[in-house]
Structure 1
């Protein structure tokens, strides 16, 4: 899988500062760090999975409101959300922290999601949600 621009910047910085041998990436089993052409120490520290009970709990919690703005942090989280069949899914505005999640939302819903920018993406996304709410 091709590296995205942010991942390439991080890897270039680690290479430039000779830190690849002393750096370890703690990640989930679905993250996209591609180390096929470099040697990055990686440890999978969690599994990104939902049980049936998790899905039912989400439906119970979210099903009581009509959400208009949703921050989605990963493609797998969006796929899980649309699998819940909640009524607000198609009408909500979506905000993402990365282009991969933005692309999945566009592919599935046909609508464009806001993709946060800069080095403080979570902060940018939250400010954008706030600004769009005014």
Structure 2
């Protein structure tokens, strides 16, 4: 289980970095689309995007911690269920708009389930 959780931590860390890089690409390098939106909408979108980066980083750190302590409390298991559910629900909703995000979020959810409950 410890190795699977470390791999899942690494995966989530890479997802966090990729998410941040995509945000920089969207908001800094490709501003034309966002210049047509009201400023408050663009700001809220950016804040939410970078909150997602923080969430993926938190998930990575949780998995790293769990790799040493295990999921020994009910709260830890509930967090793992919520993380898996969030990834898998996101994957389901991405299916019609973003194929790469669909598969990446599916892999994130599947890895979390495997590491937390099967390995």
TM-score (normalizing by structure 2): 0.25
Which of the pair is proportionally richer in strand?
Answer: 1
Q: Which has the higher contact order (CA 8 A, sep 6+)?
A: 2
TM-score (normalizing by structure 1): 0.23
Which of the pair is proportionally richer in helix?
Answer: 2
